[in-house]
A and B are shown apart, each in its own frame.
Chain A
């Protein structure tokens, strides 16, 4: 099948999933224990305030009508009004989405480059000292809780050694600009990426070891190709599809990790906004954050499927 057709097909199947996502996010409000209006406004609320809130959120209507209204507003970019800030959720979230995407992109870059690099270094040297060190490192890193790694690196690298800034995206005084951003980005992006790097390196390494045991590698050796040529020409190319699919799977883990790193490094993105919303019990904001991340996640998976497809030699 042609790649464009495949992409269209995947887009088509993503639409019902996205609609399902909106249903789940909408219904999730039903999980809030007790009277939603009361839990939003608190015990001090008067009967009039409660009635007004129920009216404005449409809480007195049947669920299906509520969903219809909510979904219609959603299509126009209206995710609701933040209870804590009294501003439209969408308006608050748009700049945060970009900040989170920057952090995500930085992490994904590290995951793909370092993860692949470790596999290329270790697989051709199967069971050598280098290989064993890589395996041991990936084992430890795959088991590190992201929130703990963040705190510890913050202490050692930012506080003790002063190699990186402690928080934020830019310096407050004289900040701004690309290199200032990169300087602030390295630490949170590395923390977010750490366990995913380990997973990508492990899976790609074992795929590459399988490839290197194939008869055609022996044939290539017999033809007199150097190890370097064999690795670059055969092992790398035949591991790419596996690498891309495990790399794509990491997007979800990175989104989970971003929530924690943003809180620890004070990175003004969706994760920190979500945390603030949780503390303030700002329900429309929690819904908005989750909805935005889920949509980006679905689209990210779609892109990674297309890339995997394009890289798979057997695919087309």
Chain B
């Protein structure tokens, strides 16, 4: 980055990425709230069976479609008379898993793919052309096609999401690895006849992983929406399991006489996605060399 005064470079150079994540994310009140919301939802998901007032599939047909505020049912009841609060708490489990797990698996595949591509240039050309082809499909559509052909189900939906995410993350890793490839420390390692794989996965990996992690964090929100969307289309989680996408889908049929059925899970998705987006933005800013400057305490004279 030009524009950074040389006098400021040494103190930044010595700070680890973790330092910037720590100061950037925890020093940012908005990011703290976002992290709190996500942590809260994770806790709610983990303890859903103990904190839910009702079982997620326990139906009381006499109270079906009753609005929020019905005694004993804070958020109302759905078309079968199931408690929406309990279903939303239980639904957080699959919604979170379907949003986060494909991103993690996708990154685990993309990191070696992008790094090997950057190192072995011919292989890289092949990999990146393959990725270009996958980029030719709008993200949601590729996931829909794959999930539709493999058949409905949560496992197939996860595979579809992973395949859809790989091109994006691989491109990020590839770009980062191409920058690292030309650094002096890599040249030094080569001069010492370090094996290729050791250079890649011992020397370069720590520097490349940050880019992939930041990218992964910024995309979780979009993946949560896509996964819920696939379930909404009937391609992911299947009824009667509680999950926010399928709950919205079921509520759609009763939107004109009981709008709360679809409204509640959608609000939950929006809050979760907003929290992930805010946290991702903050994380990206705190690791971006252009914005991280403001995070460094006024340099002490050394």
Q: Residues on A close to B: CB < 8 A?
A: 16-18, 20-21, 23-25, 28-29, 31-33, 139-140, 142-149, 151-152, 154-155, 159, 251-253, 255-257, 259-260, 263-264, 274-275, 277-279, 283, 286-287, 290, 293-294, 297-298
Contact = CB atoms under 8 A, between A and B. Distances in A.
B51 interface: no
Interface in B125-176: 129-130, 132-134, 136-142, 144-146, 148-151
Interface in B95-145: 129-130, 132-134, 136-142, 144-145
Contact of B133 (A23, A146, A260, A283): A23
A58 B205 CA distance: 47
Given A142-B277, A260-B229, A147 B248 contact: yes
A252 B139 contact: yes
B208 interface: no
B256 interface: yes
B133 A24 contact: yes
Nearest to A290: B145
B262 interface: yes
Interface in B36-75: none
A256 B141 contact: yes
Q: Sort chain B's interface into a size bin.
A: 35 or more
B229 A147 contact: yes
Given A17-B136, A21-B136, A145-B273, A33 B141 contact: no
A31 B142 CA distance: 13
B57 to A, nearest CB: 22
Contacts of B242: none
Contact of A294 (B137, B146, B221, B249): B137
Given A151-B252, A278-B235, A297 B133 contact: no
B270 A278 contact: no
Nearest to A144: B270
State the main secondary structure of chain A at its contact with B: helix
A28 B143 CA distance: 12
B259 interface: yes
B197 interface: no
Q: By CB atoms of chain A within 10 A, which of B148, B235, B252, B256 has the most?
A: B148
Contact of B150 (A33, A144, A275): A33
5 contacts: A146-B229, A147-B249, A151-B262, A253-B140, A259-B140
Given A259-B140, A290-B145, A143 B274 contact: yes
B147 to A, nearest CB: 9
A148 B141 contact: no
A290 B143 CA distance: 11
Given A139-B274, A286-B145, 17 more contacts: A20-B132, A21-B133, A21-B137, A23-B133, A24-B133, A28-B149, A145-B245, A148-B262, A151-B262, A152-B259, A155-B255, A155-B259, A159-B255, A251-B138, A259-B233, A278-B148, A293-B141
Contact of A20 (B133, B245, B269): B133
A31 B140 contact: no
A264 B273 CA distance: 22
Contacts of B225: 145-146
A148 B133 contact: no
A276 to B, nearest CB: 11
Contacts of A278: 144, 148, 233-235
Nearest to A20: B133
A160 to B, nearest CB: 9
A31 B149 contact: yes
A286 B149 contact: yes
A52 B136 CA distance: 34
Given A139-B278, A143-B274, A151-B266, A293 B138 contact: yes
Contacts of B149: 28-29, 31-32, 283, 286
Contacts of A251: 138
A145 B229 contact: yes
A28 B146 contact: yes
A293 B220 CA distance: 25
A143 B248 CA distance: 16
Contact of A140 (B134, B234, B274): B274
Contacts of B134: 24
B274 A259 contact: no
A287 B225 CA distance: 24
Q: By CB atoms of chain B within 10 A, which of A25, A29, A151 has the most?
A: A151
A290 B138 CA distance: 9
A148 B136 contact: no
A147 B140 CA distance: 12
B251 interface: yes
B227 to A, nearest CB: 10
Contact of B138 (A28, A255, A287): A255
Contacts of A142: 277
A166 B277 CA distance: 32
Given A31-B149, A298-B136, A152 B262 contact: yes
A148 B256 contact: no
B150 A294 contact: no
Contacts of B141: 255-256, 259, 290, 293-294
Contacts of A143: 221, 270, 273-274, 277
Given A145-B270, A286-B148, A253 B139 contact: yes
B263 interface: yes
Contacts of B248: 145, 147-148, 151
A266 to B, nearest CB: 12
